[in-house]
Amino acid sequence: MATQNRFALGDAPKAVLKRWWHTISRDDASGSARTDRATLRRADSLRAVACTPAYQRVYREMAAAHAGEPWRDFEQERIAAIVALAAHVKESSPQSLPKAMSHPAEGSDRNPVSELRFARLLNAPDIEAVFTGVRRSLPLIAHTVDVLSLADDVFSWGDVVKKSWAYDYAWPKKSGD
């Protein structure tokens, strides 16, 4: 019998998230899906996200799909961040967030997300700061990232994810190196 990792989001809730993201991110999304997407994009804090009907609908569906103990408060906060950040993603790609943040645009030799901004993100004191930092970084990478990888990383945010991101980010070479 397989045991569920308490610190992972789980496949069933991620499937709900992915299906929901596909619904709101389509160019021909329905009026209600476009409204949900816009509402979540305007939310500038996790409290604001949690207080939206758009978030509550997808959260309830994810919670119903979740096997195991109910999510604790800090996990619910992380799910709010995941849902709101997913609303900002316009296109899913196979790249993880740190790889996308360090992949220069065509014709450029600079990372879209600077070393300083990335380091600040790694040193974020709480999930609210992670949410804000990632939300502000998404326009710099054309709102394109692997939605499920982002969800896994935000839900599991901690030293292991921070180290993984540090290794995945392509730190620019210093002059003279």
Q: Note the pLDDT tens digit of each residue in 59-103.
A: 999 999 998 889 999 999 999 999 999 999 999 999 999 999 998
Helix or strand (DSSP H, E) at 65: helix 53-65
Q: Note the pLDDT tens digit of each residue in 133-160.
A: 999 999 999 999 999 999 999 999 999 9
In a domain, 2, yes or no: no
Cα dihedral across residues 38, 43, 48, 50: positive or negative: positive
What total number of domains does the chain contain?
A: 1
Q: Please compute Rg for the chain using Cα positions.
A: 16
Instruction: Enter the tokens of residue 171.
Output: 């730190």
- Percentage of the chain with pLDDT > 70? 93
Measured CA to CA, the distance from residue 138 to residue 56 in angstroms comes to 23
Averaged pLDDT score across all residues of the chain: 91
Which amino acid is it at 6? R
In a domain, 6, yes or no: no
CATH number, domain containing residue 134: 1.10.520.40
In a domain, 176, yes or no: no
What's the pLDDT band for 1 if we cut at 50, 70, 90? very low
In a domain, 119, yes or no: yes
In a domain, 5, yes or no: no
Q: Is the pLDDT of residue 3 over 50?
A: no
**Given this model, what pLDDT does residue 30 score?**
87
In a domain, 174, yes or no: no
**Given this model, what pLDDT does residue 6 score?**
55
In a domain, 137, yes or no: yes
In a domain, 30, yes or no: yes
Instruction: Enter the tokens of residue 48.
Output: 């604001």
- Full residue range of the structural domain in which residue 64 is found: 11-168
Measured CA to CA, the distance from residue 169 to residue 105 in angstroms comes to 15
